[in-house]
């Protein structure tokens, strides 16, 4: 698997790992970055860890031959860092500017996924001003938009399931939207809130490395749903390899169409929920273009199941790094 990637590209050259960031996912990013740097060093690479944004000047000065991106959320995953690296001509791992920006914006990506023929939960994207309303006004608003409780409320551009709530009352809804607005409005006033129908069913995640399907896992949360606590703090969350051929084939096909629709590339994860009605009806929840990358994270687990250990996987990610040329804007 992945034998076509030339792992000699950046050997004997100085490379980097960008990690940290200013988003709420910084603690996870620090773990991801350190794990990747350790893996690359064990393969003989000369590696520098760059804590973004403080170390951006050092990136400019050092001009590493290539970098692995270990940034989760915010400017690290929305195309900003990708554009910065393209300006410098430094190859980087993962999706390009547009694919990163679209995948992180759940409100806009869901429209594109739906237009491509994929199932997504019914929902609405709200700007902060529209999302700030008292409980007494939500019933009328939901009726006007053909939505009803319970609803899942989440930031449009967050990751690691932070600030995600299942709301069963109008009071819950006002509290959840208010919390998202309060947490994000000063940091990123261009963000928004996404309301989606709550679908009770089985949760799956599918891993990809460009065109290579790494397999899928069923996620059984140790909490009420697969939130931040279930991902990183619960000892009760379970992960089971999907082995049923027809379901695996459907997860691969839907995940591949989703990533291609958004122009996402490199190592990524596509998350689903399946409403059980005979054959599972698969709904795409989101595409994670920079998934967690420790030895116990989900995508490395899938790769390991395909015979690709973590050390080699990190090497392959670096070796596949690219710097996508900008469109020629010259008018002729």
318-330 residue pLDDT tens:
999 998 754 433 3
Q: Is 259 a catalytic residue?
A: no
| Measured CA angle at 322 (ends 307, 204), to 5 deg | 45
**Which residue among 26, 110, 259, 269 is the active-site one?**
269
Q: What is each CA distance from 328 to 95, 322, 325, 332, in whole angstroms?
A: 20, 18, 9, 11
Quickly tell me which residue has 């629709």 as its tokens: 261
Average pLDDT over residues 156-181: 85
Among residues 271, 283, 315, 319, which one is catalytic?
A: 271
The token pair at 65 is 């031959």
What's the DSSP call for residue 163?
T
Per-residue pLDDT band for 130 (boundaries 50, 70, 90) equals confident
Please state, in angstroms and rounded to a whole number, the distance separating the CA atoms of residues 96 and 320: 13
Among this protein's residues, is 232 annotated catalytic? yes
Does residue 232 have a pLDDT over 80? no
Average pLDDT of the residues of the chain: 89
- The more confident residue out of 156 and 210 is 210
With 0-12 CB in 10 A as exposed, 13-18 as middle and 19+ as buried, what is 320? buried
78 is catalytic: no
For the question of residue 136 being annotated catalytic, the response is no
Active-site hit among 86, 252, 286, 315: 286
* pLDDT above 80: residue 178: yes
Region 134-143: mean pLDDT is 94
Bridge-based pairing of strands 212-220 and 238-241 is antiparallel
* Residue 289: predicted pLDDT: 96
Residue 89 zone, left/alpha/beta (φ > 0; ψ -120 to 50; rest): left
Quick one: pLDDT at residue 146? 94
Cα 294–300–306 angle (5° rounding)?
160
Catalytic residue among 228, 292, 297, 315: 292
The SS3 call for residue 291 is: coil
Does 286 participate in catalysis according to the annotation? Answer: yes
In the chain the domains, ranked by start, together with CATH numbers, are 14-94 (3.40.50.20), 122-197 (3.30.1490.20), 200-289 (3.30.470.20)
Catalytic residue among 191, 227, 288, 319: 288
Would you say 266 and 214 are in contact if contact means Cβ atoms under 8 Å apart? no
- The tokens describing 66, both together, are 């290539």
Task: Supply 215's token pair.
Answer: 């397999």
**Percent of the chain clearing pLDDT 90 (strictly above):** 75
The pLDDT, as a whole number, for residue 188 is 60
Its pTM surpasses 0.85:
yes
Q: Are strands 151-155 and 192-197 parallel, antiparallel or unpaired?
A: antiparallel
Write down the catalytic residue from 25, 86, 218, 315.
25
pLDDT at residue number 109? 95
Please tell me whether residue 183 adopts helix, strand or coil conformation: helix
Give the 3-state secondary structure of residue 276. strand
d(CA 291, CA 206): 11
Q: What share of the chain is helix, strand, coil (3-state, %, to 5)?
A: 35, 25, 40
DSSP letters, 85-129, are HHHHT--BSS--HHHHHHHH-HHHHHHHHHHTT-----EEEEEHH
Does residue 6 have an active-site annotation?
no
Please say if 105 is a catalytic residue.
no
Q: What is the mean pLDDT of residues 254-266?
A: 97
Catalytic residue among 160, 161, 265, 297: 160
Let me know if 239 is a catalytic residue: no
- Residues across the chain: 332
The answer to whether 70 touches 33, Cβ cutoff 8 Å, is yes
Average pLDDT over residues 243-262: 97
How confident is the model over 269-323, as pLDDT tens digits?
Answer: 999 999 876 677 999 999 999 999 988 899 999 999 999 999 999 999 999 999 8
The confidence score (pLDDT) of residue 295 equals 81
Which one of the listed residues 198, 232, 263, 295 is annotated catalytic? 232
Check if the beta carbon of residue 174 is closer than 8 Å to that of residue 130. Answer: no
């Amino acid at each position: 698997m992945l034998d076509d990637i030339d792992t000699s590209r950046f050997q004997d050259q100085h490379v980097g790992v960008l990690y940290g960031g200013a988003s709420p996912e910084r603690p996870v990013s620090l773990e991801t970055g350190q794990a990747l740097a350790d893996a690359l060093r064990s393969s003989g690479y000369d590696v520098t860890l760059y804590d973004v944004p403080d170390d951006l000047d050092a990136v400019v000065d050092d001009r590493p031959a290539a970098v692995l991106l270990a940034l989760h959320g915010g400017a690290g995953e929305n195309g900003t860092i990708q554009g910065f690296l393209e300006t410098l001509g430094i190859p980087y791992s993962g999706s390009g500017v547009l694919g990163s920006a679209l995948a992180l914006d759940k409100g806009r990506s869901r429209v594109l996924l739906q237009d491509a023929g994929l199932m997504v939960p019914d929902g609405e994207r709200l700007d902060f001003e529209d999302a700030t309303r008292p409980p007494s006004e939500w019933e009328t608003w939901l009726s006007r938009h053909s939505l009803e409780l319970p609803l899942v409320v989440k930031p449009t551009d967050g990751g690691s399931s932070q600030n995600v709530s299942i709301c069963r009352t109008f009071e819950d809804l006002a509290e959840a939207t208010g919390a998202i607005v309060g947490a994000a409005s000063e940091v990123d006033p261009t963000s928004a809130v996404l309301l989606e129908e709550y679908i009770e069913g089985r949760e799956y995640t599918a891993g990809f490395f460009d065109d290579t399907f790494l397999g899928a896992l069923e996620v059984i949360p140790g909490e009420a749903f697969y939130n931040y606590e279930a991902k990183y703090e619960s000892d009760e969350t379970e992960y089971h390899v999907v082995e049923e051929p027809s379901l695996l084939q459907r997860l691969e096909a839907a995940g591949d169409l989703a990533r291609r629709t958004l122009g996402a590339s490199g190592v990524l994860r596509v998350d689903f929920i399946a409403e059980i009605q005979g054959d599972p009806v698969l709904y795409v929840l989101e595409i994670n273009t920079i998934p967690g990358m420790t030895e116990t994270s989900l995508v490395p687990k899938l790769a390991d199941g395909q015979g690709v250990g973590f050390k080699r996987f990190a090497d392959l990610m670096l070796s596949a790094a690219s710097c996508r040329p900008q469109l020629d804007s010259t008018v002729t």
